[in-house]
Amino acid sequence: MKQFEGKVAVITGGGSGFGKEFARLGTTLGMKLVLADVQQEALDAVVAECKAQGAQVIGVRTDVSKAEQVQALADAAMAAFGEVNLLFNNAGVGAGGLVWENSERDWEWVLGVNLYGVIHGVRIFTPLMLAAAERDPSYRGHIVNTASMAGLLNPPAMGVYNVSKHAVVSLSETLYQDLSLVTEQVGCSVLCPYFVPTGISQSQRNRPADLANAAPPTRSQLVSQALSDKAVSSGKVTAQHVAEMTFDAIREDRFYIYSHPQSLAPVQQRFEALIAQRNPGDPFADKPGMREELSKALRG
């Protein structure tokens, strides 16, 4: 997909982080925008900003974990603009702690947003894009699923998040293969960011009341939260930069998008260990001292 002007982009998680920057860049490129977020105030602010810059844009409050709300988002996009060219399955939340300490509600919340949000987006929007491609040989579409470097590694005290993001990578790779069997007009990519200041480490602010834990956070969950806040806030690569990298990848039809390609050594080591049947190595190999800091904090 080379041209963006006049094309329609649907962006989940559009009220903050990567989603907000996708919307800003889409506005600059002359795209029509359908923004979705569970946080109404944040969504309204980005919609207003894009409108002020001249964009045709609508906002639809959406909990992506709910299939019927993602369907309503698709219906709104089609009613407003008639087709969808770009889909960013971007909404995400974070949670940590030792994996056996994550509650059933933790799993339901994180998998609901991070995984089922992508599942619903792929299931509902892909047929719309394929139908557009069948009607018009000049149509081009692209789907970007936001995963994480945690979808390629398995850092400790992040189990529920790791599982969700590994599943998104697998879903995206399968989507790539499946699309290649039926069309050359619709592509896809998977975005695997590392530590980027986006606000995801504070995603508890949007956790539904019915999925809140009755018990207070465990020591490991508090430690994981503190380390996540520190790592994310200290990130040098901005969400704006990642958005620019993502649009470049769409233009070039590149599948894997890394915010920190220089940090892929642990991924290579992980796959080498898989092939050699070695025990898992240190996913923090490129961050000396982080494992020791985490272990010390957990042991008190």
Residue of 263, 285, 255, 274 lying closest to 191 (CA atoms): 255
Q: How far apart are CA 188 and CA 172, in angstroms?
A: 7
Helices (H) and strands (E) in the chain, counts: 10, 7
- CB-based contact 13:265 (threshold 8 Å): no
**Max CA separation in the chain (angstroms):** 63
Residues annotated as catalytic (active site), given as ranges = 161
Q: How far apart are CA 257 and CA 13, in angstroms?
A: 18
- Start-to-end C-alpha separation, the chain: 52
Amino acid at 82: G
Task: Read off the tokens for 215.
Answer: 């018990």
